Structure 1
Amino acid sequence: MVAEKITQCMKPHGEEGYQTIENMNENHKEISDFAFECVNVGENDKILDIGCGGGVNIEKFLKLTSGNVDGLDYSGVSVNASIRQNQNAVESGRCNVIQADVSDMPIDDESYDLVSAFETIYFWPDIANTFKEVSRIIKPQGQFMIAQGTDGNHPDDELWLSTVEGMSVYTADELEKYLLNAGFKSVKSFKKENDYILIVIAKK
């Protein structure tokens, strides 16, 4: 008998989806904290968080820049949760959260100084071309930051791959290759000491 795949991670939905997002906000805190130690955020940067989930990283970015911080997610539940988490910024016009597919974003070329992706690229389709789509919306000299809880060598990788629907895992070297092929000029990786947390920052 084949175990049923976990589907909520790929696209949170329904009432269970809201609980999944709450769990993600809590479980991903260490990854998020390390990512913010690694990235330099300009005081006027315009930022997009792709796969924004519950909106906690949007909230963190809003405290670091006077520019707009937007969110994009494939899940309507995640979009609603992110809007609720950042209601004041949404109402004041500093934050716009949209539901869209990362592989075909309704966003103009060279719109953002920084694009982030926390614990989400595992589920992106056709990663090579999707990274090109991300590069398209980043300004020259801008940054793309990827934050993930595994560097591709986590002892639980095989378990996650077998139980979580639509999941893929990438090493730092694999990500660097995809990012350079997508048009980024440089790629730097950071690994948390005594952990598997990986942060990759590509510059355009």
Structure 2
Amino acid sequence: MVAEKITQCMKPHGEEGFETIESMNINHRDISEFAFDCIDVESDDKILDIGCGGGVNIEKFLKITSNAVDGLDYSEVSVKASFKQNRNAVNNGRCKIIQADVSDMPIDDESYDLVTAFETVYFWPDIKETFKEVFRIIKPGGRFMIAQATDGNHPDDKKWLERVEGMNLYTAPDLEDYLLGAGFENVESQVKKDDYILVVIAQK
């Protein structure tokens, strides 16, 4: 018997979607902590978190920078959850939560100093072209950080590919190749020893 595909990871939806986001907030904590250790955030950086989910990383960035920290997600449930998590910042004009597809973002060219993607590029359409769209909205000298639970060598990778709908896995060399192809420079990768957590940072 073939196991039913997990659909909530790709795009949380319905009541189960809110439960999925709560679970992600807990299960992705180690990935988030490692990623924050890998990136130096300036006090005036303007930041966009793509695939913002429950908005916990937006909340973390708001404590580091005095500038705006926005979120983008194509899931209505994620947008609602991120808004709720950062309601005060939204009301104070320091945060916008945008519902949109990463492959066609309603964002002006060269808008952000730092763009981040936590546990989300697995599901991005046509990743080579989508990275070009991310490149477009980053300021010259700005950075793009990708954080994911696996560097492509995790023993459970095959299982997740079989179970999770719409999922693709990328190694550090894969991502470096796509990022350089999109125009980024100085691509650096770090893997958390024994945990397979991968962080890739590219500069425009």
TM range (shorter): over 0.9
State the alpha-carbon separation in 1 of the partners of residues 77 and 28 from structure 2.
18
Between the aligned residues of both structures, percent identity stands at 75
Shift of 1:93: 0.3
Residues 17-166 of structure 1 aligned to structure 2 (within 5 Å): 17-166=17-166
Q: Structure 1: any 5+ residue segments left out of the alignment? A: none
The one-letter amino acid of 1:191's match is V
Q: How far does residue 125 in structure 1 lie from its aligned partner after superposition?
A: 0.5
Superposed CA RMSD: 0.5
Structure 1 runs of 4+ off > 6 angstroms? none
**Structure 2: where are the runs of 5+ without partners?**
none
TM-score, normalised via structure 1 length: 0.99
The residue matched to 1:115 in structure 2 has which SS? strand
Report whether the alignment pairs 1:182 with 2:168: no
- TM-score, normalised on structure 2? 0.99
CA distance in 2, matches of 1:20, 1:194: 26
Aligned residues: 204
Name the structure 2 match of 1:191.
191
Q: Partner of 1:199: helix, strand, or coil?
A: strand
Aligned counterparts of 1:17 and 1:115: Cα–Cα separation in 2: 24
